[in-house]
């Protein structure tokens, strides 16, 4: 099983590298069962990543990285208005700076 996962990682890496070298623009969508991931590329550069996998969501990764504490983050997530973006609210509330958020999302 681990060998299959490792082969999948190598194929994914090779695919992204090929898209970057070819300066491709578009959306790479990957799906396995109910889980999905999307990588948005502009001229070969990933500019946005989305995932249905809970452990990869921004709120989880911010807490895991120690950038935001769970309690204030939970309050913000609960108070989000329809259509309001978590990123915007985090910056507005001063829990994370725009540059810090940008760097975190790229890693």
Q: What is the pTM of this model?
A: 0.56
90, 101 contact by CB (below 8 A): yes
Which structure tokens are listed for 45? 């550069």
- Which pLDDT tens digit goes with each residue over 2-44? 555 667 778 888 998 999 999 999 999 988 889 888 888 899 9
Q: Which of 14, 22, 56 is nearest to 42 (CA)?
A: 22
Residue with tokens 């990764």: 61
Residue 43 DSSP class: T
- Alpha-carbon radius of gyration of the chain: 16
């Amino acid at each position: 099983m681990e060998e299959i996962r490792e082969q999948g990682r190598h194929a994914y890496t090779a695919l992204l590298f090929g898209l970057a070298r070819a300066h491709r623009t578009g959306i790479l969508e990957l799906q396995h069962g109910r889980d999905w991931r999307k990588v948005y590329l502009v001229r070969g550069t990933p500019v946005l990543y989305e995932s249905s996998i809970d452990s990869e969501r921004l709120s989880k990764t911010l807490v895991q990285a120690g950038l935001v504490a769970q309690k204030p983050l939970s309050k913000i997530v609960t108070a989000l208005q329809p259509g309001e973006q978590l990123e915007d609210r985090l910056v507005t509330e001063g829990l994370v700076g725009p540059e810090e958020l940008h760097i975190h999302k790229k890693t």
